[in-house]
Chains A and B, each alone.
Chain A
Amino acid sequence: MSKIQEIATAVENGKTKIVAGLVQEALNEGIAAQEILNVGMIQAMDVVGAKFGRGDIFVPEMLIAAKAMKNGVEVLKPKLAAAGSSSLGKVVIGTVIGDLHDIGKNLVAMMIESAGFEVKDLGVDVPVDKFVEAVDSDSEVKIMAVSALLTTTMPAMKDTVDALNASKNRARFKILVGGAPITQDFANQIKADSYAPDAASAAKAAKALIA
């Protein structure tokens, strides 16, 4: 098994304690940091996301796979920075005002980050103007990911998406929505660009939005 394959297997299986060591070994062997990241980790997380989507694995397995990847990325960071590698882009995520749910939002953030994006997490109970400010103040933001977990906060999601759609910078970012009561129909109604039913498909949707 190649070193990269070893890393990918360790990430897929959530071996949080050994990934950093394997990544260091791969670097020592002269494998490029970007290749380790793309093939050993991001592709491995794609596999994890697909398994989650099929119901073959559950949240803890996805969580520890992402943790394993994070440990490996820490080792790669200086090399990636030195090589001038860039992420797929910046994603801003948050749960709408009036809603304190963070589990789904955190999982989505984790999977989007694992797919190669830089993620800025605004947290929960985020006012509309904070979402707008986040995108207007940072020209690097490519995706605004908006979460709502309650039927009572669906109107707040609509308000948030309305305000983002009205942004003077609307042309430079996409809007991704999700959460338990949200459907594709609702996403269409409120004029979001994309809808994802779970964390794994959110990562896929984010990639599709910037393709």
Chain B
Amino acid sequence: MLTKRQNLLETIRGGNPDRFVNQYEAFMCQPTRYGMIMVNPYVEAYPAITRGGKIKNAWGVTIFWPENVPGAFPMHDDEHKVLKDITEWRKVVKAPPLDFPQKEWDKFKPSLDAIDRNELFATLFNAPGIFEQLHYLMGMDDCLANFYEEPEAMKELINFVTEWQINYATLLCENFRPDALFQHDDWGSHRSSFISPAMFDEFLVPAYKKLYGCYKSKGVELIVHHNDAYSANLVPSMIEMGIDIWQGPVTTNNTPELVKKYGGKISFMGDIDNGIIDRVDWTREVLAAEARRAVTTNGKMYYIPCCTMGGPESSYPGVYEALSEEIDKLSKEMF
């Protein structure tokens, strides 16, 4: 039996997997919320948002998490928006320092040494992404309009954010020697990408090529990018960026067609919409049928059956685990 890591590599390389890769199993290497490497000196240096709380994050963005809401959100009313005029970004946007004493990094060494890298990928979790950082700072409406109205200032800010991300990546890679990166950055709604492929290529592809190129040059074998949206039109750009696995494709992408068209250049992890399976009225039958549809239509290569959620969890208790059980059953039946 292949290890989880070997089985994933066989799947995305068109080799001989001996079962379906089961959702996030190959990346869960640490006792953290998502099972990935999520804590480091930078993360520890700033307050973490918790339900019911309001914090100012490392970039000055106010994050609010009301008790009655499942997740935290950046605030963009007049009082809280960090960047009100993109042309003023140099005066306003301050990147957080990354100069931590070596002992702060070293304290994580025992937990990293404990990872069985034959069985699992030592996987870094990172969020927000470059695009998300932009709209965290200025709000989504301004962000999208600024691509048109102030393109040069946007490129400068993207470059600034990317350089900071590269410095952060360098420290993470040198200290943690990760095998994989799991990066969040949502690029669309369920119906379309936020921006056109041409705009995406002009603004975001060069930035991500640099960032993902940095990770790969420092030994990261696998770039897994979370984007639970319609982005079928961006797949060639994702390949150019260096993404190995797109996690989160929703069913509107027609993932089976993408697997046929791009399999071998990139793999797809998702196609089981949380909007369908992870609801207050969820049932095992609906979930099992979705899992079966997904593996039957996508096949065994270049595809990893997974919920579209950006981590190994579900909104409703038991859904993630039930989906894992159904995928295991399908593996026994189909391999």
Contact = CB atoms under 8 A, between A and B. Distances in A.
Contact of A100 (B73, B145, B191, B196): B73
**Interface hub of A59, A97, A103, A152 (most chain B Cβ within 10 A):** A59
Given A99-B69, A125-B68, A180-B275, A60 B190 contact: no
A154 B280 contact: yes
Contacts of A180: 189-190, 275
Given A98-B68, A103-B140, A60 B274 contact: no
Given A98-B69, A125-B68, A150-B70, A60 B279 contact: no
Interface string B69-93: 1100100000000000000000000
Contacts of B140: 102-103, 106
Contacts of B66: 100, 125
A151 B191 CA distance: 16
B196 A57 contact: yes
A147 B315 CA distance: 19
B149 A155 contact: no
Interface residues of A, number: 30
Contacts of B144: 59-60, 63
Interface in B130-152: 140-141, 144-145, 147-149
Interface string A188-211: 000000000110000000000000
B193 interface: yes
B192 interface: yes
Contacts of B316: 152
Interface size class of B (residues with CB under 8 A): 20 to 34
Given A57-B196, A58-B194, A97 B148 contact: no
A125 B70 CA distance: 12
Interface string B255-284: 000000000000000000011001110000
Contact of A106 (B70, B73, B141): B141
B69 A104 contact: no
A98 B196 CA distance: 31
B68 A63 contact: no
A151 B148 contact: no
A60 B195 contact: yes
Interface string A38-52: 000000000000000
Contacts of B192: 55, 58-59, 198
A100 B278 CA distance: 19
B141 A63 contact: yes
A21 interface: no
A181 interface: yes
A50 to B, nearest CB: 14
A61 B193 CA distance: 12
Contacts of B274: 151
B48 to A, nearest CB: 18
A152 B315 contact: yes
A67 interface: yes
B322 interface: no
A116 interface: no
A59 B230 CA distance: 13
Contacts of A9: none
A16 B149 contact: yes
A14 interface: yes
B199 interface: yes
Contact of B191 (A63, A98, A102, A197): A197
Interface in B278-325: 278-280, 315-316
A59 B187 CA distance: 12
14 contacts: A58-B192, A58-B194, A59-B195, A60-B145, A60-B194, A60-B196, A100-B73, A103-B141, A106-B141, A150-B70, A151-B278, A151-B279, A152-B280, A180-B190
The 9 closest A-B pairs by CB, nearest first: A181-B275, A100-B73, A60-B144, A151-B279, A98-B68, A58-B196, A103-B140, A180-B190, A152-B315
Interface of B: 64, 66, 68-70, 73, 140-141, 144-145, 147-149, 189-196, 199, 274-275, 278-280, 315-316
